[in-house]
Amino acid sequence: MNTTIHPGYAPHMEQPRSRTGYWVMIIILFVLLAFSVLLNFILVMVTVSSFSGMDVQEDGKKFSEEFMQGSGRKKIVRIDVFGIITFQKSGGMLFQEQDLATLVMQQIDAAEKDPNVVGILLVVDSPGGGITASDIIYERLLSFKKSGDGDRKVVALMRDLAASGGYYISAASDKIVAHRTTITGSIGVIISSPNFTGLADKIGITDVTIKSGKNKDMLNPLRTPTAEETNILQITVNDMYDRFVSVVARSRNLEPEKVREIADGRIYTARQALELSLIDEIGDVNTALDQLREMTGHENVKVIRYKRSVSFAELFLSRFNNRIQLPFPPEWSSDAPRFMYLWKPNF
């Protein structure tokens, strides 16, 4: 039989099946396998770190010593106070950094427990911070100097900025050395809060607050503070300011009246601070270390600093946020206004 094939006619052929779904399943399985391997690796490292032989301080925090310079059995511990002095944790989107105040105190504790430590070099580069955090560090430094055989010394070295709370903790030192370019001072107290009353009126936002007393919601950002509230806050600020003045007067051997004259919140250069007896010397790290060697009576001494050893357990478990955190300055993350020993030229 003759078969006629018409032009444009194509015999029916079975189309190949799409393999997209197949590759999607392969990718999903691969991702699940990789996640399982990673999870098991983390669990193994957590277990290993739990039984590791690293030195552990009595408070459970692990530190290792990093040699910096010098020689001998006796030690000077360098402790850096860089940033805002606060008990509030800070960090990025997923992981939190240990708060500065706690970290500094842990290092002071470690130095105090080591019988070979004769002094602390306190390197300060800070605009200040919380009044309580600053005061606790100040008292811990005083306690360190009284520990051991009573011959321990502290010298503060100011870098770019040692203002307000940064100066407050420096006042616990036996000597204060500042770089010639240091900015210091700003002795005083501040509390601030944004007020959105004008904006709220424009866009129609009203505040509904149920309170037990007329002053319970002081610094409510959706209403103007009353004269009574302002007076209450000013009295509180003045009381905390008096504490700051007494600390400076006692540590610098100045009359309180003299301190009040210069403690109006202004900042000073290193030269101005030296003329006002707020610091002892203009110099650098070698100047500060020479002061420590002379005061402790130990010429042959090695300088170290502590480094925190972070375990996988802390990295992946204890320090993992359960919520997203934006990397804003610590003073912005508080739910309520705080009294601060802080140089805060802008919001």
What is the residue-level pLDDT of the chain in tens, covering all 347 positions? 555 555 555 555 555 555 666 677 777 877 777 777 776 666 555 444 444 433 434 444 578 999 999 999 999 999 999 999 999 876 544 455 679 999 999 999 999 999 999 999 999 999 999 999 999 999 999 999 999 887 899 999 999 999 999 999 999 999 999 999 999 999 999 998 888 888 888 898 888 989 899 999 898 888 999 999 999 999 999 999 999 999 999 999 999 999 999 999 999 999 999 999 999 999 999 999 999 999 999 999 999 999 976 555 555 544 444 444 555 454 445 556 889 999 987 64
Say if residues 266 and 38 touch (Cβ distance below 8 Å). no
Ordered structural domains, the chain, with CATH: 61-191+219-342 (3.90.226.10)
Distance, in Å, from the CA atom of 148 to the CA atom of 145, rounded to the nearest integer, reads 8
Predicted structure pTM score: 0.78
Q: Is 216 marked active-site?
A: yes
Choosing from 90, 126, 134, 164, the catalytic residue is 164
Choosing from 216, 246, 318, 334, the catalytic residue is 216
Say if residues 106 and 112 touch (Cβ distance below 8 Å). no
Instruction: Tell me which residue of 116, 115, 111, 161 sits closest to 140, measured CA to CA.
Output: 111
Tokens at 311, concatenated = 């375990």
Q: Angle between the 131-146 and 227-252 helix axes, to the nearest 10 degrees?
A: 20
Phi, psi for residue 263 in degrees, rounded to 5: -100, 60
